[in-house]
Every structure is written in structure tokens, then in C-alpha cells.
Amino acid sequence: GAVVSQHPSWVICKSGTSVKIECRSLDFQATTMFWYRQFPKQSLMLMATSNEGSKATYEQGVEKDKFLINHASLTLSTLTVTSAHPEDSSFYICSAAGTPGGVGANVLTFGAGSRLTVL
């Protein structure tokens, strides 16, 4: 079945530093990947849609300059939290949808998530 790997699982960083989170589709190609975040006791919320070879689409209220998304290949999307602050501490999770007609097409496969703590 389709598998999505997310790395790192846990990251602790100092305020003001940047953190990169990777989302990889291991056995299928993903034209589109999605990034969500979940604050404690809150719902998972869609942050942005990452399209291979084009700019990401951000949800209202999500700062595109703070959350940089790069989807340079059909198997990898990265989320970089720039100049992280304690309020950015959250659980970030990605999902991927396979290319039409391919493995995992029209089905979302989720990564295991990355817990970011900013001190």
C-alpha cells in the first residue's frame, strides 16, 4: 500500500531558528501533498496545498513567508518554519495523493507527523 514518511518525528529548536520538515511518498508519486497542523486539544487544520513544480496554495491566515513549502519532486515536499517562535510549537502532519491512475490515486495517505517545540 501507499506509504508516506515524515521526518523528523520530533524537533526542538531555539526561538529564531528555522526548521525543515520533510514529507516523502515512498512507493508512489504524489502530484499533490497537503500540510496540516494541530495545536493541543484542537482540530487538525489544513495549512497549505503543495503542488509539484508550482507554488503552494496557502489557507487563509497562514503566512506563506513563514511557512515555506517546496515540492520539487513527485516524492518530496518540505515545510520550512522560518524564524520559529514558541507559538509555532505544534504537531505538523502531511498527506499525499497519488498521481491520477497511479498508486494511491485520489486517496490521501498521511505521514506520522512531526512535533515541533520551539523554546
Partner 1 sequence: KQEVTQIPAALSVPEGENLVLNCSFTDSAIYNLQWFRQDPGKGLTSLLLIQSSQREQTSGRLNASLDKSSGRSTLYIAASQPGDSATYLCAGRGSTLGRLYFGRGTQLTVWP
Query: Does residue 89 bind partner 1 (CB under 8 A)?
Result: no
Query: Does residue 106 bind partner 1 (CB under 8 A)?
Result: yes
CA 73 – CA 12 distance, rounded (Å): 27
CA 14 – CA 26 distance, rounded (Å): 31
Dihedral angle of Cα 83, 55, 33, 97, to the nearest 10 degrees: 180
Provide the residue count of the chain. Answer: 119
Among 34, 58, 67, 92, binds partner 1 (CB under 8 A): 34
Among 15, 18, 42, 117, binds partner 1 (CB under 8 A): 42
The amino acid that residue 79 corresponds to is: L
Residues numbered 50-79 forming contacts with partner 1, rule: CB under 8 A: none
Cell numbers for 90: 505544534
3-state class (DSSP) for residue 87: helix
Closer of 15 and 106 to partner 1 (Cβ): 106
Closer of 10 and 14 to partner 1 (Cβ): 10
Query: Does residue 103 bind partner 1 (CB under 8 A)?
Result: no
Instruction: Note the residues at the interface with partner 1 (CB under 8 A).
Output: 4, 6, 9, 32, 34, 36, 41-46, 49, 93, 95, 97, 106-108, 110-113, 115
